[in-house]
Amino acid sequence: MIHRSLIFDFDGTIADTLGETRRIFNQIAPDYKLRQVGEHEMDGLRHLSLKQLLDHLEIPKRRVPALIARGTGLMRGNITRLQLIPGMREVLVEMRRHVDSFGILTSNTTANVDLFLESHGLRETFDFVSSTSKLTGKAKHLKAIRKTFSLRHEQMLYIGDELRDVKASQKAGIPIAAVTWGFNSREALAAAEPDYLFDRPADFLRLLAAP
H/E stretch holding 5 reads strand 5-8
Number of domains in the chain: 2
Q: Which range marks the domain in which residue 120 is found?
A: 5-16+83-209
176 and 110 both lie in a single domain: yes
9 and 90 both lie in a single domain: yes
pTM across the whole model: 0.94
149 and 118 both lie in a single domain: yes
- The string of pLDDT tens digits covering residues 124-134 is 999 999 998 77
112 and 202 both lie in a single domain: yes
Percent of the chain with pLDDT over 70: 98
**Measured distance CA(86)–CA(88) in Å, rounded:** 6
97 and 55 both lie in a single domain: no
- The string of pLDDT tens digits covering residues 149-159 is 999 999 999 99
The closest alpha carbon to 25, from 61, 49, 59, belongs to 59
70 and 111 both lie in a single domain: no
Write down the number of H helices and E strands in the chain: 9, 6
193 and 152 both lie in a single domain: yes
150 and 178 both lie in a single domain: yes
Q: 65, 80, 95: which is the final residue of a domain?
A: 80
